[in-house]
Structure 1
């Protein structure tokens, strides 16, 4: 056994998520990014049965600030001995898990707060400004000069290639959006809960062929946070501990034009690493939360994470395959397509996985769930991070 593998096996189940919360999901007029972050952070710390003074580790990131962790420390009044401001897009808050586990195991800190907030929908400095700033701060030399509609055009390119290569249909893509809406209708926190049919998706305004506006994620406000502690401490706290069994992160590219294969993402590596650390396989997972910025994401990640073979995800999701009552519960909160998507969605996927394992899903609860997978995506199919979570009986 290699030293790296041995280290990861030691970390398996060594930390648990003991608090989780969201705030202002949907529309939160009058709130700033920082205020949304702070409200969700305080709620998550209270949910864990802790005080803000107990927090000595912080992980956070923002698309609109390069030194975001420092004003967050200041605003929350923290004095952390461990800080991680790694920013790799929407997967950041799942990628923060493994380094936080190492910091906890080493004794560098005792309680890590992972938090995010964005007022992209209602703030004066909103989505258009964020996109414009990204072009300036993070220019893509082979793409930016042509002024593509990013990130939409990149995902449309991947969708078109998947359709060409595997015969995937627009109707199968629409199945993803319809399943997400069916879950959202069971979630009072979801922003869009109205009826949605396959024909509604297909007939919606085309925004970047082959993707319509209903194939595309929401633009909302929202804050999310969770608290991570060592496993032995988790047993003394009020909430059911959700143990981190595995975590892996992989990056193969930044620009979509640098992908070797538009139908294969770095989720293949992040998923393999997370499952190896957890000692589990896809068939062992009860509930799945995937970063669904666009409908094609779900098909790609189902394949790359091993829930079905490459090219078979279209058939896998047909006839409500990932909706309520389907073969695999996917994005049970409604996902970024129907629940919430304030710029970066990864933390909300992880929070929903935690809620499902704690039995807090209400009408959308997956009965008997003891294992969950949460997967984050950043950039234009650029960064990928996978987490495998479980209850005490899975340790």
Structure 2
């Protein structure tokens, strides 16, 4: 069977991200975005003048990609402002790879920055001031009943998984513990002290059964990735991280409309990404999974085929996600301990690309040739999976 036309047609050739142990970054969002674009292009050995594709999902007005292009002084011939929350950036990479394969553009920058912690400290109001908000179905039908968002939505999923499969709070806590082991190796991580299952269970209850240490951080953060064609990537400064496969699966908007609380659209996005790549779960060396909450990780592990449905609790209890484990995961410390500015999917891509390039120093997974980055947006609503590889022909 011939290879899928999207497989390895494009590659991530430059990455950058910004996070600080303080949880805060210097500068405005627009200043930080520009800095990320410059750093990612420098990493790739490309210039701003060569950029003809642009992806961004947040902005002050109705057309964020137009605003950013104007600020950067470029005239792209292809842009994408898809907004699905935390999975937006995996979708941007999916779309950009397709656009590059079709010759619609040649060099695409995907960028994100947010400063919710600084905004809160200074009274600026946070990310909601940067978007158009108003009456929504959730505001009308869910919030009046006292559902605390967003953790309440994930607590419903965790409770149902516990009811259906016997998953325990101790098993969910193992995800936070193993993720923190990676964070202890990252000097920029917000939380660097090792923790135990007892620590997780002893932290305040946020929305039963989720404790505080089951929940992601709220920090400033930013990042960018640069993509170009596989042909051009071979001659650039850094080793390419080829886009071997990608897929998307959206199932609902409100948590009350989720078809089943224990299965996400990752079943669809993972299936499609594996099919494009010609690979399966057993071929993946390292995973970067959206970890807004520990239950988000557990559901992704099951739905992406790393363990059978309902067995995620027993699977993580054996310690596969930690350094030296059988399935190293969230190797920068994840949204639980590294950084989480509201939409974490950008950092999944940056870390996955660095792993397949072999750039991660103490956090490098030995022999990592295939990395999977899986974003989750909304309330387990919009899933997107990207598979990166160090070799286009594997």
TM-score (norm 1): 0.94
Which residue is 1:136 aligned to?
134
Is 1:318 the equivalent of 2:313? no
How has the CA–CA distance of structure 1 residues 144 and 153 changed in structure 2, closer, same or farther, with 3 Å as cutoff? Answer: same
- Look up the match of 1:182: 181
- Equivalence for 1:157: 156
Q: Which runs of 5+ in 1 are unaligned?
A: none
Q: Are 1:106 and 2:105 an aligned pair?
A: no
- Give the superposition deviation at 1:360: 1.1
Moved more, 348-357 or 68-77: 68-77
> Counterparts in 2 of 1:196-235, with a 5 A limit?
196-235=195-234
Q: Contact (CA 8 Å) 1:104, 1:229: kept in 2 or not?
A: yes
Per-residue CA deviation, residues 238-270 of structure 1 (Å, 9 max, x unaligned), is 100110010001101001100121000000000
CA distance in 2, matches of 1:40, 1:108: 24
Alpha-carbon distance between aligned partners in 2 of 1:374 and 1:129, rounded to the nearest angstrom: 24
- Other structure's SS at 1:372 match: strand
Superposition TM-score, scaled by structure 2 size: 0.94
2:252 match: secondary structure: coil
SS in 2 for 1:11: coil
For 1:50-96, what per-residue CA distance to the aligned partner results, in whole angstroms no more than 9, with x for missing partners? 11111110011128754322221122222110000010111000011
Q: Deviations over 1:348-388 (max 9, x none)?
A: 00110001111111111100110010000000000000011
RMSD: 2.0
In structure 2, runs of 5+ residues without a counterpart are none
C-alpha deviation, 1:39, in angstroms: 1.2
Q: Report the equivalent of 2:368.
A: 369
Which shifted more, 11-20 or 312-321? 312-321
Give 1:330 shift. 0.8
Quick check: 128-137 or 246-255, which moved more?
A: 128-137
Residues 170-213 of structure 1: CA deviation (Å, up to 9, x unaligned): 00010000111000111122111012111110000111111111
Q: Partners of 2:132 and 2:209 in 1: how far apart? A: 24
**Is the aligned partner of 1:14 residue 2:14?**
no
How far has the Cα of 1:320 moved from its partner?
2.2
Q: Do 1:20 and 1:227's aligned partners in 2 also have CA atoms closer than 8 Å?
A: yes
Match of 2:41 among 36, 40, 45: 45
SS of equivalent residue, structure 1 residue 331: coil
Q: Secondary structure at the match of 2:388?
A: strand
* Structure 1 counterpart of 2:65: 69
What are the superposed Cα offsets for residues 283-331 of structure 1, whole Å, 9 maximum, x if unpaired?
A: 0000000000000011000000000000101111114221112221011
Aligned to 1:379: 378
State which of 87, 91, 95 in structure 1 corresponds to 2:91.
95
Once structures 1 and 2 are overlaid, which stretch shifts more, 325-334 or 376-385?
A: 325-334
Contact 1:63 1:130 in 2 (8 A): no
User: What's the counterpart of residue 115 of structure 1?
Assistant: 111
CA contact (8 A) 1:62 1:116 kept: yes
Distance in structure 2 (CA, Å) of the matches to 1:39 and 1:254: 33
Moved more, 166-175 or 142-151: 142-151
Between stretches 243-252 and 185-194, larger displacement belongs to 185-194
Distance 2:169 2:298 in 1: 12
Contact conserved, 1:35 with 1:117, CA < 8 A, in 2?
Answer: no
Cα distance in 2 for residues equivalent to 1:154 and 1:329: 27
SS in 2 for 1:90: helix
Q: How many pairs were matched up?
A: 390
On the 8 A contact 2:242/2:392 being kept in 1, the answer is no
Q: Which moved more, 1:97-106 or 1:42-51?
A: 97-106
Task: Give the Cα–Cα distance (whole angstroms) in 1 for the partners of residues 127 and 53 of structure 2.
Answer: 31
Matched, 1:80 2:76: yes
